[in-house]
Chains A and B, each alone.
Chain A
Amino acid sequence: MAQEITAEDIRARVRKLLEEAHPDHVDQFTFRGKQYDHGLAWVHFPEGYGGLGISPGFQAVVADELAKHARTNYEDMMVNPIGIGMGAPTVLTHGTEWMKKNLLRRIFTGEDIWCQLFSEPSAGSDVAGLATRATREGDNWVINGQKVWTSFAHISKWGMLLARTNPDVPKHAGLSYFLLDMQSLGVEVRPLYQMTGEAEFNEVFLTDVKIPADHLIGPEGEGWKVAITTLMNERSAIGGAGVPRKGSGSIGVLMNLWRSREKSGFAPESEVLMRERIAKLYIESELLRITSQRARAARKAGNPGPEGSVAKLVQADVNKRIWECAMDVLGPASLIYEPGYARRRPTSRAKESRTALAKYQFLRARANSIEGGTSEVMKNILGERVLGLPGEPRSDKDVPWKQIPRNG
């Protein structure tokens, strides 16, 4: 594709796509399939793989032009978040020609949902220490182990599996990366119920699961390198999420809860304290918004700074404190939990009251400082990679994985 492509060229391409298939008139698979064929799925991918080989910045132009002409919006994050956000870049970077040809389009349309099989009960922050074993038997790899916190496993066609192919070398060197057909014999998916009673995630038990040798992604023993590609995309997917509008999101709900409080509920001196507490949370929410904007501008200018990692860390902390404050605003009503703890898969919360939602969010927020990197790990990253402070002395480097003390 020519270097001097303009936003107007992209808009023209989108209009041409819409003449062939319009999301208001055809189903998701059909429309997104055509979008892929026109190179408008992920424009920075090469031609023939759903892209045009141009700057990712043009993707926003595609979205904008689509929004102008269509009411229906099949959002990536609704269609296939793990597949689109992490699976596709991993396949593109490390996958075989067969994988690129046969997997990418169906990832984008959402025909094949993807999940990520990295974390284990004994490998959380230290994911490279994982224990799921892969042993070679003829033309197959045989997998045994357990994965955890697997979103979408119960509806997935493909899993990105990280497993240990060699326990006799240091931990990072003994890992390999596989494409796992989730319908294989020996794959058992169970819902993992969280403290909210809901199961957003799954546990995946792998017992003598056979994976064909050509489903290895990247060379044997270089799984960690491939996993880094996946994880980098996880981070940029989180960091690149839309910047909320001023006063919207969690802080908006809190302010509305406060404004509609029972007027008799607070003594005047408590009112003063609560107002200041909420103002402080508003300030931090605003600064999160502005810092995310700065992060985005820095990325655009080609010199990303620490703003993105900083925002992730603060987001978790502020969100927890916002919902704690909401519980204090609710007072005695916070003794009641309207949503109930019935074990279930998440459903739409559109019909829940603001009050009920706040209580759910209060519980759900505890995970914010754990998921996608604990706050402690994030602080190590900021300390070591951004500030250049020395690492901890390690007892798990340069020794065979099997000699490292571990749980389970």
Chain B
Amino acid sequence: MDISFTREHDELRETVRRFLEKESGEAAVRKVMETEDGYDARTWERMASELSILGLIVPESYGGAGLGAVEMAIVFEEMGRVLYCGPFLATAALAASIVREAATDAEKSRLLGEIASGKLITTLAIAEESGEWSAEAVAMRASRHGANWRLDGVKDYVLDGNAADVTLVAAKADGHLALFRVDGAASGLERVSLPTLDLTRKLSRLTFRGTPATRISDKDIRDALSRALDFGVAMVAAEQVGGAQRCLEMSVSHAKTRLQFGRPIGSFQAIKHRCADMLVDVEFARSAAYYAAFALDGGDDAEAREAVQIAKSFCSEAFYKAAAENIQIHGGMGFTWEHPAHLYFKRARTGLVMFGTPGEYRQKLAASLGL
């Protein structure tokens, strides 16, 4: 597999980077992360109208750009650098992916265009109180009332559940796993915004009590859900590369300028070697995330699955290590609220758990390698 970027890719990266430097600098992130919905509506609108990245993976026939995992990974890497705070992962990656994979044509028409144009914040609810992100772990059942469906139960750790205009819910129906569309303002839906460890990523608990829902899949969505999750994991891996790279840059810059014992601390091997180790981790994480993105676009399902497992395992841990080292290298300053190191550390920590742990992904990989 040839992992190399084209000039168009470089231009996309450059455009997104410039946009985010203006719209999502540290001050903006700190402001937005203190709000309940966790996003800036004007930035969101511009991401649709000026950058066209909300519909990046939406097929052109539905009003999107019709691009793939590689382009999306570039956007995520840049968002990870600045800790962009907003429902992009939920809407543009997870929801767009599951709708593209599993929804009926009518529902694709209804949802994808609105996602691409920025009119609809959408999320995908999979995990329940057990906190597992997999088709197998879905226990919620939908019940039929005449021509209509109703949902009962709890979906937990739902990304941007409070901000979402529409929530897509995985639930069992007629012995299949099906996808339902639930309106944010639906009756019988209680949305509780959770106090998250990582303030830059909003989570909600959604309680359904006879909540009206529209079934939008006509086939079992087990495989589609796995693919959408794999897509999400790969995008978070790219985001983690961006975050880890930024931590490395902060550490190196500090190590060059911070003077102790009469010289820059980066001239001590104790610090220099930590930075070198971070660089190694970042480069390997980069290989892992890019491999996953290229494999997802490559069309070989088995290879894509393995590449995603590798990316989850390596990138999440590399980012966590880099974020932790970044605090250490900054010393006391790195432990303050004022310094951004903790924001990266918290994002990195939650990335280990969300969608499954690195250990779980290694066990899956071990099984498919016949170990």
Contact of A283 among B268, B280, B314 (CB under 8 A): B314
Kindly report which residue of chain A lies nearest to residue B291, judged by CB atoms.
Answer: A290
B256 and A276 form a contact (CB under 8 A): no
Contact of A282 among B264, B279, B283, B369 (CB under 8 A): B369
Contact with A along B217-236 (1 / 0, CB 8 A): 00000000000000000000
Residues from chain B with a CB closer than 8 A to the CB of A376 are 269, 273
Kindly report which residue of chain B lies nearest to residue A293, judged by CB atoms.
Answer: B3
B288 and A383 form a contact (CB under 8 A): no
B272 and A379 form a contact (CB under 8 A): yes
Decide: A276 near B272, CB < 8 A? Known: A259-B371, A290-B291, A310-B283.
no
Q: Which of B3, B366, B369 has the most CB of A within 10 A?
A: B366
Contacting A at CB under 8 A, from B266-280, are 266-269, 271-273, 275-277, 279-280
Residues from chain A with a CB closer than 8 A to the CB of B363 are 272, 275-276, 279
- The smallest beta-carbon distance between A342 and chain B, in angstroms, is 35
A279 and B371 form a contact (CB under 8 A): yes
Whether B328 is near chain A, meaning CB under 8 Å from some CB there, is no
Residues from chain B with a CB closer than 8 A to the CB of A390 are 256, 263-264, 266-267
Whether A200 is near chain B, meaning CB under 8 Å from some CB there, is no
Whether B338 is near chain A, meaning CB under 8 Å from some CB there, is no
B371 and A380 form a contact (CB under 8 A): no
Tell me the complex Cα distance, A314–B280, Å: 8
A310 and B272 form a contact (CB under 8 A): no
> How many residues of B are counted as interface, with CB atoms below 8 angstroms from the partner's CB atoms?
39
Residues from chain B with a CB closer than 8 A to the CB of A314 are 280, 284
Whether B300 is near chain A, meaning CB under 8 Å from some CB there, is no
Whether B310 is near chain A, meaning CB under 8 Å from some CB there, is yes
Whether B313 is near chain A, meaning CB under 8 Å from some CB there, is yes
Decide: A291 near B283, CB < 8 A? Known: A275-B363, A393-B263.
yes
Whether A13 is near chain B, meaning CB under 8 Å from some CB there, is no
Residues from chain B with a CB closer than 8 A to the CB of A279 are 313, 362-363, 365-366, 369, 371
> How many residues of A are counted as interface, with CB atoms below 8 angstroms from the partner's CB atoms?
41
Whether A344 is near chain B, meaning CB under 8 Å from some CB there, is no
Residues from chain B with a CB closer than 8 A to the CB of A294 are 3-4, 286-287, 290
B3 and A287 form a contact (CB under 8 A): no
Tell me the complex Cα distance, A380–B248, Å: 16
- The smallest beta-carbon distance between B305 and chain A, in angstroms, is 13
A301 and B4 form a contact (CB under 8 A): yes
Decide: A255 near B264, CB < 8 A? Known: A314-B280, A379-B272, A388-B252.
no
Q: Which of A272, A278, A387, A391 has the most CB of B within 10 A?
A: A387
A276 and B279 form a contact (CB under 8 A): no
Q: Which of A310, A380, A384, A392 has the most CB of B within 10 A?
A: A310
Whether B341 is near chain A, meaning CB under 8 Å from some CB there, is no
Residues from chain A with a CB closer than 8 A to the CB of B255 are 389
Contact with B along A298-321 (1 / 0, CB 8 A): 000100001100100110000000
Whether A382 is near chain B, meaning CB under 8 Å from some CB there, is yes
A392 and B283 form a contact (CB under 8 A): no
| A interface: dominant SS | helix
B279 and A287 form a contact (CB under 8 A): no
Decide: A287 near B362, CB < 8 A? Known: A379-B273, A389-B256.
no
B284 and A291 form a contact (CB under 8 A): yes
Decide: A280 near B313, CB < 8 A? Known: A275-B363, A307-B283, A314-B284.
yes
Tell me the complex Cα distance, A388–B271, Å: 13
B371 and A275 form a contact (CB under 8 A): yes
Whether A363 is near chain B, meaning CB under 8 Å from some CB there, is no
Kindly report which residue of chain B lies nearest to residue A389, judged by CB atoms.
Answer: B266
Contact of B280 among A282, A313, A389 (CB under 8 A): A313
Tell me the complex Cα distance, A378–B256, Å: 19
Residues from chain A with a CB closer than 8 A to the CB of B362 are 276, 279-280, 283
Residues from chain A with a CB closer than 8 A to the CB of B266 are 383, 389-390
Whether A286 is near chain B, meaning CB under 8 Å from some CB there, is yes
Decide: A387 near B371, CB < 8 A? Known: A280-B313, A380-B272.
no
Contact of B365 among A283, A307, A310 (CB under 8 A): A283
B252 and A287 form a contact (CB under 8 A): no
Residues from chain A with a CB closer than 8 A to the CB of B264 are 389-390
Whether B174 is near chain A, meaning CB under 8 Å from some CB there, is no
Tell me the complex Cα distance, A258–B369, Å: 11
Tell me the complex Cα distance, A326–B3, Å: 31
Whether B2 is near chain A, meaning CB under 8 Å from some CB there, is yes
Whether B298 is near chain A, meaning CB under 8 Å from some CB there, is no
Residues from chain B with a CB closer than 8 A to the CB of A287 are 284, 287-288, 291, 310, 314
Contact of B3 among A283, A297, A306, A387 (CB under 8 A): A297
Kindly report which residue of chain B lies nearest to residue A313, judged by CB atoms.
Answer: B280
Q: Which of B264, B276, B288, B310 has the most CB of A within 10 A?
A: B276
Contacting A at CB under 8 A, from B345-371, are 359, 362-363, 365-366, 369-371
Residues from chain A with a CB closer than 8 A to the CB of B359 are 276
A310 and B371 form a contact (CB under 8 A): no
- The smallest beta-carbon distance between B90 and chain A, in angstroms, is 28
Tell me the complex Cα distance, A306–B245, Å: 13
Contacting B at CB under 8 A, from A326-374, are none
List 8 interface pairs A-B (beta carbons < 8 Å), by A numbering.
Answer: A259-B370, A272-B363, A283-B362, A290-B3, A294-B4, A294-B286, A380-B269, A390-B264
Give the interface of B toward A (CB within 8 A).
2-4, 248, 252, 255-256, 263-264, 266-269, 271-273, 275-277, 279-280, 283-284, 286-288, 290-291, 310, 313-314, 359, 362-363, 365-366, 369-371
- The 5 A-B pairs with the shortest beta carbon distances in the complex, nearest first, are A383-B272, A389-B266, A379-B276, A382-B276, A279-B366
Sample of 15 further A-B pairs with CB below 8 A, known A259-B371, A284-B284: A258-B371, A280-B362, A287-B284, A287-B291, A291-B283, A293-B3, A294-B3, A306-B283, A380-B276, A383-B276, A386-B279, A388-B256, A390-B263, A390-B267, A392-B269
Give the interface of A toward B (CB within 8 A).
255, 258-259, 272, 275-276, 278-280, 282-284, 286-288, 290-291, 293-294, 297, 301, 306-307, 310, 313-314, 376, 378-380, 382-384, 386-393
